[in-house]
Amino acid sequence: MGRQFFVGGNFKMNGSIKSVTEIIDNLNKAKLDENAEVVIAPPSLYLLLAREHLRKGIEVAAQNVFDKPNGAFTGEISAQQLKESGITWTLIGHSERRVILQEDDAFVASKTKAAIDGGLGVILCCGESLEQREAGKTIEVVTTQLKAVADKVKDWSKIVIAYEPIWAIGTGKVATTEQAQEVHAAIREWLKKDVSSEAADKTRILYGGSVTEKNSPELAKQADIDGFLVGGASLKPAFIDIINSNSA
Ligand code: 13P
């Protein structure tokens, strides 16, 4: 009945062989909440290193995937290639890709479909800018981003949603528990209306944006917050406390 707590670590374009290995060693010897599902997303160069060194039970995610299985697509990686390499998850639609690399909703949806069809789990990111929030458009923006995916993907059992307000990412300005819970509840309402009541009950909705070991226990208590997608703090030992924050 309950949704399993989920914590993802998005390393973004950070780390080196040495530092990624240290983070993995730390995770391998840490005492982690057995009820938490943990996935780390290092840069693609370190995916295999991570998979080879990480203990069983912690999964590895790509930060991006392409929407074709193979072919002349320079610089891209397919779901099939990831799956074959033991990489079982991918992030899709992170705001840094939407904004900096100009990925639109249709491309995000197409990649999500390809990833699911290729057998991967997807951490599907959404979130509004400060301007959109101030214009009262948060729920509209987020549900429009998600609807593009719902138009192409009917089975949401392998999708985890990450709500990451852009103004909270890397800024130290975390959403208040009320702000986060309000959007998470609205996303769940939307799932019920536009996908299915089963998807509304079962889909994990993560919060991301300046999550630390200090703010995570309070956020984790909210009814519709089922875990976190952690950026900066996933590179630090405090990531372990965030993983354990649901049992704190
Ligand atoms: P920070 O935790 O560094 O704010 O990043 C959040 C994020 O973008 C995770 O995907």
Q: CATH no. for residue 75?
A: 3.20.20.70
The answer to whether residue 24 sits within a structural domain is yes
The answer to whether residue 149 sits within a structural domain is yes
- Residues lining ligand 1, CB < 6 A? 10, 94, 164, 169-170, 208-211, 229-233
The answer to whether residue 123 sits within a structural domain is yes
Residue 132, pLDDT > 60, answer yes
Nearest alpha carbon, ligand 1 atom 7: 231
Q: Give residue-wise pLDDT tens across range 197-234.
A: 999 999 999 999 999 999 999 999 999 999 999 999 99
Nearest alpha carbon, ligand 1 atom 2: 231
Nearest alpha carbon, ligand 1 atom 5: 231
Atom number, ligand 1, closest to the C-alpha of residue 232: 3
Rg (CA), the chain: 17
Question: 6, 7, 10: which to mutate for ligand 1, most atoms within 8 A of CB?
Answer: 10
Question: 90, 91, 97, 229: which to mutate for ligand 1, most atoms within 8 A of CB?
Answer: 229
Domain containing 212: what range?
A: 6-247
Cα 232 to middle of ligand 1, angstroms: 6
Cα 70 to middle of ligand 1, angstroms: 30
Cα 189 to middle of ligand 1, angstroms: 25
Residue 191, pLDDT > 80, answer yes
Q: pLDDT band for 1, please (50, 70, 90 cuts).
A: low
Cα 72 to middle of ligand 1, angstroms: 32
* 203, 160 Cβ separation under 8 angstroms: yes
Active site residues: 94, 164
Over 49-104, what HEC string results?
HHHHHCCCCEEEEECCCCCCCCCCCCCCCCHHHHHHCCCCEEEECCHHHHHHCCCC
Cα 71 to middle of ligand 1, angstroms: 32
Atom number, ligand 1, closest to the C-alpha of residue 211: 2
The answer to whether residue 122 sits within a structural domain is yes
Q: Roughly how many angstroms between the first and final C-alpha of the chain, as a whole number?
A: 21
The answer to whether residue 213 sits within a structural domain is yes
Residue 39, pLDDT > 60, answer yes
The answer to whether residue 156 sits within a structural domain is yes
The answer to whether residue 73 sits within a structural domain is yes
Atom number, ligand 1, closest to the C-alpha of residue 229: 9
This prediction's pTM = 0.98
Residue 248, pLDDT > 80, answer no
The answer to whether residue 1 sits within a structural domain is no
Atom number, ligand 1, closest to the C-alpha of residue 233: 2
Q: What is the pLDDT of residue 63?
A: 98
Q: What is the pLDDT of residue 190?
A: 98
Domain count for the chain, please give it: 1
